[in-house]
Structure 1
């Protein structure tokens, strides 16, 4: 068997290597985190980039079995933030030098929805004189829609796969054509062809999930040459079908620890990509996001969603920062990032170095 320190020194990793890293405990866990922190600083530096998050609608046509805003959850209070409120949040991001915003919603594909997103992208570009970077996270769409939004000014797109293992994907989604594993993969391919910086991610600690599944997820991220990753611990929601299987999952602390090992391992595997410190980490540990920053993450998403709607965009239970306004969220994160020994890249898009190299 390979020595652990020899695995850490590698640039390429086998599935078995990744499993060893993901199962690291004690001194090996410490060594993993130290190696990932060093790799991060050497390749992408100490800067952390803000992506002001605006969850502008919780209307969704999907029925994913893990998600609190799934279409069939009748307990959700549905909302559509007004255009002026969305643009005010983006103006706050621009005036406070966040560099970028993320427009996120449930998955819809109606003509009205497509037109609205296009309008918002154009307005964000106008109010910032083209200065704000724009990430979209609006689900599966056609090539034509992706191209239209890209031409209007969006340049990053996040579409999480949640699990790259087909069998597990099918266990956490309804078994119908509207929740197709192949469609998800096709959309990721289309996004890359349209010119986006492409992001995806997985949930960590799902029912039925093995460490080998997570190792495969990491290899999947590398195989599709992804530019950015947002992944965090699975947190159950009582109004979802997957809640029935909560007896199969690890404790929240175990899921948190596993998520940190995933972040650190991914930094070693793909040193030049952008990795987000998921908000779900803070739902388990108050210092969760800065712990992720210390060992590999370099993206933070302050929540700029109008406060009146935040409690209604709960994909999982115990979501943090529901009562903070934008100023409070910014100030809190500034302090957290400084404590993590990093600095904020104010006024910078913070594009993925991997993307910059890939497009050459």
Structure 2
């Protein structure tokens, strides 16, 4: 693994957010076979020390037993994006898995009583408008789904797609707007790729259907060990998040 945080470190990081009135705590890992060893005690402590906090897990494709263990420990929701509704495109970019397996995991998540967060990527090389339309409908078909994201593709250095073109921001916003109309009750994040593609992109996102932002609470000593995007990665801190939220409120008041 890149690194493992202890349960103590996870709880301490959660307190950093909670002390600023952040009540939704996202615990994200890679597909670590030992993830329950630190996730379970961390979740139990967060629920004990911060009883009104909502815990969201994002730990990849797991078994029903593992999803149940997270639920029993106190987890509320689980994010598992299907990424693309096109089975061939999915297999191309995730050759070790299948879309069928991914969707089966999504159903298991809901079966054990966790709220499902899902979503897809906009602008994958080889993706068509028809694929995007099916992606939007996939979110509807997976209802009830309290959370869903539609984020533009960002090429990452050191991967096979590093020289591909990034997703188009304006097109992404159109997709988000349509997704919001079809799925009016889901929480949709103004994801950091919006900001990567345009300064102020997250603020723009709140004007077309996005309703949340994610703040990174990972301890500084671990941040360089994991970068979702190495190319000028945008890290959202508390001040940036406040700016987005305040701008969103101002936009709505002027609407």
Q: Confirm or deny a common fold (TM above 0.5).
A: yes
Q: CA deviation at 1:243?
A: 2.9
Q: Aligned partners of 1:315, 1:184: CA distance in 2, in Å? A: 20
Q: Is the 8 A contact 1:202 1:230 kept in 2?
A: yes
Q: CA deviation at 1:342?
A: 5.8
Q: Is the 8 A contact 2:8 2:42 kept in 1?
A: no
Select the structure of larger CA radius of gyration.
Answer: 1
Instruction: State yes or no: 1:86 paired with 2:10.
Output: yes
Q: Pairwise mapping of residues 31-42 of structure 1 onto structure 2 (< 5 A)?
A: none
Partner of 2:243: 335
Partner of 2:189: 276
Q: Aligned partners of 1:260, 1:147: CA distance in 2, in Å? A: 35
Partner of 2:48: 126
Moved over 3 A (4+): none
Give structure 2 stretches of 5+ with no counterpart. Answer: none
Q: CA deviation at 1:83?
A: 3.0
* Cα distance change on mapping 1:209 and 1:100 into 2, 3 Å: same
Q: Is the 8 A contact 1:172 1:242 kept in 2?
A: no
Q: CA deviation at 1:242?
A: 2.8
Q: Pairwise mapping of residues 183-222 of structure 1 onto structure 2 (< 5 A)?
A: 183-222=101-140
Q: Pairwise mapping of residues 1-360 of structure 1 onto structure 2 (< 5 A)?
A: 59=1, 78-108=2-32, 110=33, 112-128=34-50, 130-174=51-95, 176=96, 179-225=97-143, 226-243=145-162, 246=164, 249=165, 252=166, 255-316=168-229, 317-321=231-235, 329-341=237-249
* Cα distance change on mapping 1:137 and 1:236 into 2, 3 Å: same
Q: CA deviation at 1:144?
A: 0.9
Q: Aligned partners of 2:221, 2:173: CA distance in 1, in Å? A: 31
Q: CA deviation at 1:211?
A: 1.2
Normalising by the residue count of structure 1, what TM-score does the alignment of the two structures yield? 0.66
Q: Aligned partners of 1:159, 1:236: CA distance in 2, in Å? A: 21
Q: Is the 8 A contact 2:27 2:58 kept in 1?
A: yes
Corresponding pairs, count: 249
Q: Aligned partners of 2:199, 2:219: CA distance in 1, in Å? A: 22
Using CA pairs below 8 Å that are at least 6 residues apart, which structure has the higher relative contact order? 1
Normalising by the residue count of structure 2, what TM-score does the alignment of the two structures yield? 0.92
SS of aligned partner of 1:183? helix
Give structure 1 stretches of 5+ with no counterpart. Answer: 1-58, 60-77, 344-360
